[in-house]
Amino acid sequence: MRRREFCSETCRRGADREYKRAKALVEHFEAYLRKTRHEVAAYGRKADADRGLQTLEEEAAVHAAAAASVSRAEGILDFAGTDDGRFLEELRRLVEAVGPLVRTQSESLRAQVS
């Protein structure tokens, strides 16, 4: 038998309602942030508005690009000859260190955006 997550059906419904309310609030403010960024960009000051903050969609796009780069590096390693062995070994270390992290983060962000 599966372990109960809530003490009662009332608690479960309350938690579900709070989750939906919080999710709607986040979506509202993300939409408001996108709108405000467009307004600021219209005045030619986009860099001032960003200050490194990204929406989930923007962050997911960055991670998708990183995942694609890791895939290309893996392709290079698969088809590379034995010339320039030290460069290939450094590329191999980079792929082994960064690849799993990038893939996990990209999958997590895709799930959040969906």
Spatial separation of the C-alpha atoms in residues 77 and 16, rounded to whole Å: 47
pTM, entire model: 0.42
63-94: per-residue pLDDT in tens? 777 788 888 777 777 777 666 677 777 777 88
Q: What is the pLDDT of residue 21?
A: 94
Q: What is the pLDDT of residue 60?
A: 75
**Residue labelled with tokens 């709108």:** 35
Compute CA distances 52 → 11, 47, 49, 86, 113, whole Å.
39, 9, 9, 35, 19
14-56: per-residue pLDDT in tens? 999 999 999 999 999 988 888 887 777 777 655 554 555 666 7
DSSP E strands, the chain: none
Name the range with the highest mean pLDDT among 1-15, 56-70, 92-106.
1-15
